[in-house]
Amino acid sequence: MLPAIQTPYEPEVRYMERALELAELAAAEGEVPVGAVVVHKPTGAIIGEGYNRREAAKSPLSHAEILAIRQASRTLGGWRLLQSAIYVTLEPCPMCAGAILHARLDQVIFGTRDPKGGAVCSVEQMFELPYNWKPQVMEGMLQPACAAVLHLCGGAARLFPAAAAKKESGGLRCGKKVITCGNFRISPSPWRSVCRTCWRI
């Protein structure tokens, strides 16, 4: 008997939209705004969610991806998250990239790069090393929105200190409305026009 033909998985924007909502929750708690969801690809169900909670948990391990992977493992009843994909607003760090490998996630979809700590394509390319698991990677989904959300509660200043300093000194101008914690709301369509230089729309 011939094996069943599997339809290739097509990443969906709605899952990154949910990750952005989770990032906003992190910002509301004074955390660096990063959100993540794990999706079971055959069913399309979200089996794990998480957002950055390092300050609240007083733990360096409480990254969005780690919390989402932990919940997904409990949902499936095992540590192997086969046929699952993780959506995260920010490029995973070395710790989270390692957790993705150990969890056997098939696919990693992230929104924007982390030039200071990204372990997928920025500082290093962990998934290109000869480990016994190699997830597929897609970057840039809702990138303007994922970059913009980092501006909440100083996240962008941590990742892009030079650009943030110019912005605060008035060195960056685009004549558009500034995103602030007070009026920020997740609404994917408008974010496609976010200025990638100064986090304005």
CB 65 within 8 A of CB 96: yes
Which residue is catalytic, options 17, 31, 65, 91?
65
d(CA 100, CA 95): 9
CB 144 within 8 A of CB 138: no
DSSP 8-state class, residue 172: -
Nearest 10 degrees: CA dihedral of 56, 150, 74, 13? 160
Active site residue 10: no
Chain-centroid distance of CA 25 in Å reads 13
CA angle (170 as vertex; 168, 171 as ends), nearest 5: 105
DSSP letters, 63-103, are -HHHHHHHHHHHHHTSS--TTEEEEEEE---HHHHHHHHHT
**Other C-beta atoms within 10 Å of 18: how many?**
18
Question: Looking up tokens 């998934």, which residue turns up?
Answer: 127
Q: Which sequence positions are flagged as catalytic? A: 65
